[in-house]
Amino acid sequence: MTDQATEAESDTPDIPGKPTSASRTTLSHIMTHNDTNLLGTVHGGVIMKLVDDAAGAVAGRHSGGPAVTASMDEMVFLEPVRVGDLVHVKAQVNWTGRTSMEVGVRVLAERWNESTPPTQVGSAYLVFAAVDAAGRPRRVPPVVPETERDRRRYQEAQIRRTHRLARRRAIRELREKRAAEGYED
């Protein structure tokens, strides 16, 4: 962080924190034949869109305005989703920075016509940046974890952030080194 950023932050009044539950949401959707891939199961891209939609709603709620997807980490598909499954996408803010938020998402599926409990079929972590009307980053309220589970998710999100930044730095340094050595990628 630069001195200029530190000065700008000190000029901005503190934003009150919001509890995890304030923006938590569930999006539900029944899967149809329009959602299938060539194998006859629901296309992963359809699930990813639902994940992004739910996470975007949570990020917008938490930040009090527009937020854009900056990255998606660790999208994991655990089980196939089938036509006729009722899919529930549960999302919450796990961690906040100055202008960004990590949103954790769990994807559950159950048969639309059965009374069996839903099965977890996927999960993902997304990073959103809050933006103003001109598309510039804007500050977000801190998230206030309420439960032990929320506190664990907050700590894990900090680890993922550290890894994202280290990976980005290592790649940038490698590219700079290769460019200095005369390699054109």
In terms of C-beta density within 10 A (0-12 exposed, 13-18 middle, 19 or more buried), how is residue 87 classed?
buried
Report whether pLDDT(1) > 70. Answer: no
Give the pLDDT of residue 8: 40
In one-letter notation, the amino acid at residue 123 is: S
Q: 14, 5, 30, 2: which is closest to 110 by C-alpha? A: 30
7 sits in which H/E element: helix 3-11
Cα 76–chain centre separation: 13
pLDDT tens, position by position, 10-31: 444 688 999 999 999 999 999 9
Q: 139, 116, 125: which is closest to 67 by C-alpha? A: 139
pLDDT tens, position by position, 37-50: 999 999 999 999 99
Mind giving me the DSSP string for 16-41?
Answer: PPEEGGGT-EEEEEE--GGGB-TTSB
| C-beta separation of 141 from 15 below 8 A | yes
Region 51-62 average pLDDT: 98
Residue 185 — pLDDT band, cuts 50, 70, 90? confident
Report whether pLDDT(142) > 70. Answer: yes
Give the pLDDT of residue 42: 97
Report whether pLDDT(60) > 90. Answer: yes
pLDDT tens, position by position, 63-99: 999 999 999 988 999 999 999 999 999 999 999 999 9
Look at the alpha carbons of 124, 127, 132, 138 in this order and tell me if their dihedral is positive or negative.
positive
Give the pLDDT of residue 13: 61
